[in-house]
Amino acid sequence: MKHPQTLIAGILALAVTAAGASAAVAAPADPRAVDRSPALASRSLAALAEPIGLEIGVAVAADQLGADRKYTKLVAGQFSTVTPENAMKWESVEPQQGVFDWAAGDALVASAEANGQLVRGHTLVWHSQLPDWLSPDGVSSDFSPEELREILREHVITQVTHYKGDIWHWDVVNEALNEDGTPRVSVWSEAYRALGLDPLGYIADAFRWAHEADPEAKLYYNDYNLEFTGPKSNAAHALAQDLLADGVPIDGMGFQGHLSTQYGFPDLEANLDRFADLGLEVALTEVDVRTAVAPRKNHEGEWTSTPATAEGFAAQREYWVGTLEACLAVPACVSYTVWGLADSNSWIPGVFPGEGAALLWDDHLNAKPQLADLREVLATSDAAPRVR
């Protein structure tokens, strides 16, 4: 992988060259200079990634799509895949037991179809954003373990059947592991444990049910912090090996890619590689890069979307470039999705107070330098065609 610093150095050198430019100045030393032209800026991320066979995606907020013109246009124009940010989660699709609401998910699928985009379905089995009737906290439930297993089976089959033929990738199971690699305690792990089964046994079941309902959809396990080598990534790797050895229909591993500049850049390429070596596809499914942001004037726990320091901003640009370059370096990395379009749509400020500015467009839906950086990476890439 090319070191991200190379590109940033190039960008800085170019800025200096441009500032001092006069008619007599020869072509800038950095060949990437040519790529900072308006022509490149007018090309979409999806179009630039197309020759490599890489899909570029975005998580879409149901209440913005169709309501905000600029947002809708950017989603349609820049990306080749979309992921529902919340619309296909359990609390959205089955708010009351047996009462399904597919409206928001269906609207996204229809919009994707109209725009020639693929859909990454997200997500079938998770401990979070469950409806209250099922589990108020992701762990406890009024249902018996037997009932929970049946509820899970019905949910997976009902949802995958509803969207049969519409979904490219399903994030079948989301976030089943703890940081130390042990199974996360959830309503699912505890039901299986109580049944005398492997607490992670629901994962194999869910993949099998999903495959039964839509044999064409590619089925993914999705989690965060798999980017860094460590107990969690190791456990996910062991889990994937076990699933494959048992003949479970798993096609890929989703690396969420929620990065913060305070933790350093992960050894992402090595981790993508070792899952690819198992014969799986890999994908970056929820990329955002947060950094410390400046407080608002008359600060009362309120934050802007402006990086607090120039170093933080520069690190964000390096991380964006680094994530995309890592994906490009691994031919099994078939898609790269950003978790929201603009800073004004991002989940980060609500969950990580004091951090933000994590996306490629700003609060007013203006493109940020990070976006130009990604365009340049794609335009100058000699990456191998994707292997699917």
Window 68 to 87, contacts with ligand XIL (CB under 6 A): 85-86
CB of residue 92 vs ligand XIL: minimum separation in angstroms?
10
Residues 290, 339, 283, CA angle at the centre, nearest 5°? 105
Cα 115 to Cα 129: distance, rounded to the nearest angstrom: 29
Cα 196 to Cα 185: distance, rounded to the nearest angstrom: 15
Q: What is the CB-side half-sphere exposure of residue 180 using CA atoms within 13 A? A: 3
Bridge partners (DSSP) listed for residue 288: 258
Window 157 to 176, contacts with ligand XIL (CB under 6 A): 174
Identity of the residue, 331 or 340, whose beta carbon is nearer to ligand XIL in the bound complex? 340
The answer to whether residue 286 forms part of the interface with ligand XIL (CB under 6 A) is yes
Write the binding mask 7 to 36 for ligand XIL: x where contact by CB under 6 A, - elsewhere: ------------------------------
Identity of the residue, 170 or 381, whose beta carbon is nearer to ligand XIL in the bound complex? 170
CB of residue 4 vs ligand XIL: minimum separation in angstroms?
24
CB of residue 342 vs ligand XIL: minimum separation in angstroms?
13
Write the binding mask 36 to 75 for ligand XIL: x where contact by CB under 6 A, - elsewhere: ----------------------------------------
In single-letter form, the type of residue at position 86 comes to N
Identity of the residue, 94 or 286, whose beta carbon is nearer to ligand XIL in the bound complex? 286
**75 contacts 68 by C-beta, under 8 angstroms:** no
Residues 139, 141, 143, CA angle at the centre, nearest 5°? 140
Dihedrals φ, ψ of 68, to 5°? -105, 115
The answer to whether residue 344 forms part of the interface with ligand XIL (CB under 6 A) is no
Give the single-character DSSP code of 46: H
Options 85, 94, 227, 286, the catalytic residue: 286
Considering only 100, 102, 143, 347, the residue that binds ligand XIL (CB under 6 A) is 347
Cα 100 to Cα 21: distance, rounded to the nearest angstrom: 62
Nearest position to ligand XIL, beta carbon: 347
Is 318 a catalytic site residue? Answer: no
Q: Give the closest residue to 129 by CA, choosing from 117, 121, 137.
A: 137
Identity of the residue, 361 or 381, whose beta carbon is nearer to ligand XIL in the bound complex? 361
Identity of the residue, 7 or 293, whose beta carbon is nearer to ligand XIL in the bound complex? 293
CB of residue 19 vs ligand XIL: minimum separation in angstroms?
39
CB of residue 286 vs ligand XIL: minimum separation in angstroms?
6
Cα 252 to Cα 234: distance, rounded to the nearest angstrom: 16
The DSSP-derived string for 287-299 is: EEEEEEEEEPTT-
Is 175 a catalytic site residue? Answer: yes
Cα 140 to Cα 246: distance, rounded to the nearest angstrom: 30
Options 55, 85, 94, 175, the catalytic residue: 175
| Angle in degrees, 0-180, between the axes of helices 201-213 and 145-162, rounded to the nearest 10 | 30
3-state helix, strand, coil in the chain (%, to 5): 40, 20, 40
SS3 374: helix
Window 196 to 215, contacts with ligand XIL (CB under 6 A): none
Identity of the residue, 100 or 347, whose beta carbon is nearer to ligand XIL in the bound complex? 347
Q: Which residues bind ligand XIL (CB under 6 A)?
A: 85-86, 174, 256, 286, 347
Q: Name the residues annotated as catalytic.
A: 175, 286
